């Protein structure tokens, strides 16, 4: 497989047609070696328009969904970022290139360890947390950007409240076969704006506390 041609085709045939035109996002996706974030047996699928299984019922999101998420979050170089669901580590690498610092939390220790190994030569501005994010909330601060990479039934308690003013949160809510990607912005203290972006379906965020939901 011609890796660079496959990468070019992914951007031009999958990502751009999905209205991802932000050059910063496109350049980051082009510069992060997606093929390094899949197993050896999946190298030929690294640039395919599909979700790639990564174990424990989790997936690497399709390139176009990842790109739309990054574009919607409008990340700047000074942003402090929280990622919930490290997964393969690819999005973590992209976030680290775009923002100032990333804290990423993964429920499964195996996925976290694999991603940590993949990222050790990619970036030095990432902190890794393992376990149920709800058990770690007391250790977390405020963030400019929060990216939730698993679907949730509705906005989970505490996540929007971790946003700084003007902070943005990306999440996918609902239940299969209908889920909606949303951008939630903290416009003022305890005041949030919600925007529906597109429909998709991804596996749920796993947590012992997913019953803690609220609507705002």
Per-residue pLDDT of 73-106, as tens digits, reads 999 999 999 999 999 999 999 999 999 999 999 9
* R_g over Cα of the chain: 16
Q: What is the reported pTM?
A: 0.93
Domain of residue 100 covers: 3-200
Residue 157 lies in a domain: yes
How many folded domains does the chain comprise? 1
Give the CATH number, domain containing residue 47: 3.40.50.150
Residue 211 lies in a domain: no
Residue 59 lies in a domain: yes
pLDDT on residue 207 = 62
- Kindly give the parts of the chain with pLDDT less than 50: 208-216
φ/ψ of residue 46, rounded to 5: -55, -35
Query: What is the Cβ-side half-sphere exposure of residue 172, based on CA atoms within 13 angstroms?
Result: 24
Give the DSSP letter of residue 11: I
pLDDT on residue 190 = 81
């Amino acid at each position: 497989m011609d890796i660079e041609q496959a990468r070019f085709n992914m951007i031009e045939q999958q990502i751009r047609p999905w209205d991802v035109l932000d050059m910063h996002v496109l350049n980051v996706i082009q510069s992060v070696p997606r093929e390094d974030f899949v197993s050896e047996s999946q190298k030929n699928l690294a640039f395919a328009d599909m979700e790639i299984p990564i174990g424990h019922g989790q997936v690497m999101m399709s390139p176009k969904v990842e790109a739309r998420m990054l574009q919607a979050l409008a990340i700047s170089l000074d942003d402090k970022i929280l990622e919930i669901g490290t997964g393969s580590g690819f999005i973590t690498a992209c976030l680290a290139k775009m923002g100032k610092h990333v804290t990423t939390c993964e429920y499964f220790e195996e996925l976290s360890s694999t991603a940590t190994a993949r990222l050790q030569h990619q970036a030095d501005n990432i902190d890794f947390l393992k376990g149920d994010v709800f058990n770690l909330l007391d250790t977390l601060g405020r963030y400019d950007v929060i990216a939730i990479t698993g679907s949730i039934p509705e906005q989970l308690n505490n996540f929007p409240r971790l946003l700084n003013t003007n902070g943005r949160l990306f999440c996918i809510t609902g239940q299969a076969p209908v889920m909606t990607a949303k951008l939630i912005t903290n416009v003022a203290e305890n005041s949030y704006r919600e925007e529906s972006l597109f429909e998709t379906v991804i596996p749920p965020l796993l947590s012992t506390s997913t019953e803690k939901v609220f609507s705002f």
